[in-house]
Amino acid sequence: MTSTDTVRITVEGDTPYDVLIGRGLLGELRDLLGPKVAKVLVVHPRALRSTGEAVRDDLVSQGLEAVLAEVPDGEEAKSAEVAAFCWTVLGQSDFTRSDAVVGVGGGAVTDLAGFVAATWLRGVRVVQVPTTLLAMVDAAVGGKTGINTAEGKNLVGSFHPPAGVLCDLDALDTLPPHDLRAGLAEVVKCGFIADPRILELVEQDVAAATDPHSPVLAELVERAVRVKARVVSEDLKESDLREILNYGHTFAHAVELVERYQWRHGAAVSVGLVYVAELARMAGRLSAADADRHRSVLQSLGLPTTYRGDRWPQLLDAMKRDKKSRGSLLRFVVLDGIGRPSRLEGPDPAMLQAAYAEVSAD
């Protein structure tokens, strides 16, 4: 992709939609909303008030009625209270089934906005405008929407595909480096499960991979979105294949819950990838070299590969509520090799704890 190209990736399914990746793309929003939409709820986090206002003003200038719903930054947005606040705004503004929601922000806001759209009048259109790397390559694509409960991450939600996704790489200019790195954890995840070229690109030039203006980062975004689009096109509701996108997440979500969301999702995914690579190595599924590659790629990006919380019982308890569990059976996505995802069901509890010892050691 050159700096002027826009890449269009179609996610197939009952209601196919496009993910646009490029620069200066906001002008495309009206088209993605479709001709029948009259009113739009623009959901944005506090930190992106001026972006939310710019989106609203642009829609108003094109003859639409647009209302803002400002929500808390980060994970705090993913609560039943914040969803209820959005429903109130929709109700007070008389939104009907021909109206739409636009999510402008990071993954927390796109998850919330998608959930609000999925539940309002049992489902209205949502267009996602992700502004973090993580939301561009993962959260805004694929239709998983949701909020958290006290017991765990994303425990309430629905599959509600967007009508379109606008990944405007210009948004990354203001993104703090920590958040950029967090997004790269999901990119690297895609590398391990399906596209090893991603790993090579990071290994060849880590500076370019972390530079929001480099063509290498643009290629990483495109490759990660292609992986996600391919998987979701085949298995929207995670009956089987889609589980591979959850690689590293059993441990990651447990860390996020136990740490009361003080860890970024991408940072937790990073350590979760190392945890599950160790588990696969111990189970005789993954070579030591491939497990070590997880650590080295993630470390090169400045992502965490250890977790020193000393909270194994709480982590194990949280992992039992992972959505891949079946009854009392814990299930993990593991690799039999790079690009060869598989499942590990009901591993020996001693092995689970031994893998934990590996990620909590120096």
Write out the catalytic residue numbers.
122, 144, 186, 228, 238, 242, 246, 249, 253, 265
Annotated binding residue at 77?
A: yes
Binding flag, residue 171, ligand NAD (CB under 6 A): yes
Annotated binding residue at 234?
A: no
Tokens of 193: 């499960």
Binding flag, residue 78, ligand LNCXM5UN (CB under 6 A): no
Question: CB within 8 A of 294, min separation 6: which ones?
Answer: 192, 273, 274, 277, 305
Restricting to residues 299-358, which ones interact with ligand NAD according to CB under 6 A? none
141 vs 282 by CB, closer to ligand NAD: 141
CB of 234 to ligand LNCXM5UN, least distance (A): 12
**Residue in the structure block whose two tokens are 């920590």:** 178
58 vs 358 by CB, closer to ligand NAD: 58
Restricting to residues 168-187, which ones interact with ligand LNCXM5UN according to CB under 6 A? 186
How far is residue 237's CA from residue 259's CA, in Å, rounded to a whole number? 29
Contact residue for ligand NAD among 132, 210, 246, 270 (CB under 6 A): 132
How far is residue 302's CA from residue 282's CA, in Å, rounded to a whole number? 26
How far is residue 311's CA from residue 184's CA, in Å, rounded to a whole number? 26
Restricting to residues 79-138, which ones interact with ligand LNCXM5UN according to CB under 6 A? 138
Tell me the residue type at 240: D
Strand pairing report for 331-335 and 341-345? antiparallel
CB of 249 to ligand LNCXM5UN, least distance (A): 5
Contact residue for ligand LNCXM5UN among 217, 218, 245, 318 (CB under 6 A): 245
Burial (0-12, 13-18, 19+ Cβ within 10 Å), 349: exposed
Restricting to residues 278-337, which ones interact with ligand LNCXM5UN according to CB under 6 A? 323
Binding part of the chain for ligand LNCXM5UN, among 48-56, 174-182, 204-212, 242-250 by CB under 6 A, reads: 242-250
248 vs 347 by CB, closer to ligand NAD: 248
255's contact among ligand NAD, ligand LNCXM5UN, none, with CB below 5 to 8 A by partner kind, is: none
Burial (0-12, 13-18, 19+ Cβ within 10 Å), 329: exposed
Counting runs of H as helices and runs of E as strands, what totals does the chain give? 14, 11
Contact residue for ligand NAD among 33, 124, 139, 201 (CB under 6 A): 139
Which residue intervals of the chain are DSSP H helices?
29-33, 49-61, 80-92, 107-119, 133-134, 177-193, 196-204, 206-209, 215-234, 249-258, 265-282, 288-300, 312-319, 349-360
> Which residue numbers belong to the known binding site for Zn(2+)?
186, 249, 265
Enumerate binding residues for ligand LNCXM5UN (CB under 6 A): 138, 142, 144, 153-154, 186, 238, 242, 245-246, 249, 323
